[in-house]
Structure 1
Amino acid sequence: MITTTSSLKERSLLGLKPLSRSEISSLLDRAAYWESEPHKVIPILESRFVANMFFENSTRTRFSFEMAEKRLGAQVLNFAAAASSVAKGESIMDTVRTLEAMGIDAGVIRLKPIGLLPEIAEAVSIPLINAGDGNNEHPTQALLDLYTMKKQFGDLKGLRVSIIGDVAHSRVARSNLWALQKFGAEVQFCAPPSMRAPELADSAPYVSMEEALVADVVMILRVQLERHTGDLFKSPEEYRIHYGLTEDRASTLAKHTIIMHPAPINRNVEIDDAVVESGQSRIFNQMSNGVPIRMAVMERAMKL
């Protein structure tokens, strides 16, 4: 069968901003199906090959994709940039095209350069899944976040979601913003001035830490303090004092409020140890939900 451009675009997942609410809902519903499946391996993709191409380090996302792919019976090739010809100077574009030439049916890709992923997608004839590109989008993380919220509250409409931390460098914040607003959720940001993304201010307001804690969902972002040396905070402890979800702050949350974090977690910096392990935390639930979400995404990408 010849793959048309339109069907290829439909099977790829480069971001959530261009997706419709119904397309996102379809993925969430399919994830629920896979989560309810009692068998660990359902080999509907046993004749398909997928390459996980990570040009940035990853633990949760990479292993979650691999688990999802193997549960669907796909043949998995794992690529690490440090052990590849990229270390010799090969371009990311040539690396992807090389793996395509070898016969893979889909590629999962994480990379730093912003704007490169759409170029690669235009140059190849296989579906690509965005596992995080620069500070642009991280669509499967946002999907699993929405799935976690939907399981908790039943409906996303009307939810107030506070996203707190390094918004400027967060692809997670962007993907969640675009997706949540399609479902009628109210998104607000809280960040130090040096960690704000001014271009997002028209899409969601920046509020104080006190205002951010009045929400149904408090989503804490990883603090990338190494990118802000000399800007606002002299130490991780100073950040914690002003913007961390400390035990004291967490004690003021409404009983129904849930706490989320995309991880990796800087414990006792952006969020206290005890808060990570608290009854309102859904952080490890998010990680569990990543597998059925990515099963739905990979099924969509490699359906026969």
Structure 2
Amino acid sequence: MYSDTHSLGNKQEELELCAQPESYDVIGITETWWENSHDWKTTMDGYKLFWKDRKGRRGGGVALYVKEKFESMEVSYGDHKSSTECLWIKIRGIITKGDLMLANEEAYRLWKGIQIAIEDYKNLARACRDAVRKAKAQLELKLAKDVKYNKKGFFRYVSSKQKHREDRGLLLNRAGKLVTTNADKAEILNTFFASVFIGIAGPQVTGSSSYSNACVVPPVAEEGLVCGLLQGLNPHKSMGQDGIHPRVLREVADIVAQGHSIIFEKLWRSGDIPDDWKRANVIPIYQKGPKEGPGKLQAH
């Protein structure tokens, strides 16, 4: 620790408050401005003090506090007449903590004396690199073979190798102004994607709306048909709003097929579907052309 105090006589208590909690090994002070009347205030518990005052005029002076656990002594380099106060101290002792030295010595002894451990480490590191390299090659080969059925996985891997991804950027609203907030962007994309799926009404079926008097018999959602459709789900597709992965439905198709067939049958007869089934995760993907228009984005 070093400090330029400009008269340490009235700051001794402050110095002790700063030094004791941190347990500094060496504390250097300049501009002590000490006199013989200040000798009783200079000592600190646990430290050995060396100091030198300015001769002939007021001010100046240097002091050095050294921990008592170190062997320290003042060194004289001849009788020089320099006006600058200088203090030379020789310090001997182990400053590094004992536990740290013991750990370093033990680690160095293992490294120095047992060459086999180093060779084993090199062999394991080499084997690990080879295993990672082979696993990476197998993954790339599998993605290339299954690209016809798992396009998402292939393009996801290709995208992960890119250095950066381009942002969606700003979008133009109907007034021709650029929108910046996420809420406004979502509203523009929602309006555009909804307009794409608005179809033209087809010919209406005449007759009674009640199935009890209708001539056409509604199809029956058979359990076997539902089970076959569930088993044909693509396991590489992402999850929907319900959080159930297609792979899970595919594996438990024979168990949940009966319940699903009953639900489908009742919904068909009632002519309505739950609101949760009308929701979807829509992700805009840029195709080509200006990025400000929503028509250049594809719903995914």
TM-score between both structures, scaled by the size of structure 2? 0.21
The structure, 1 or 2, with the larger RCO (C-alpha pairs under 8 Å, 6+ apart) is: 1
- Larger radius of gyration between Structure 1 and Structure 2: 2
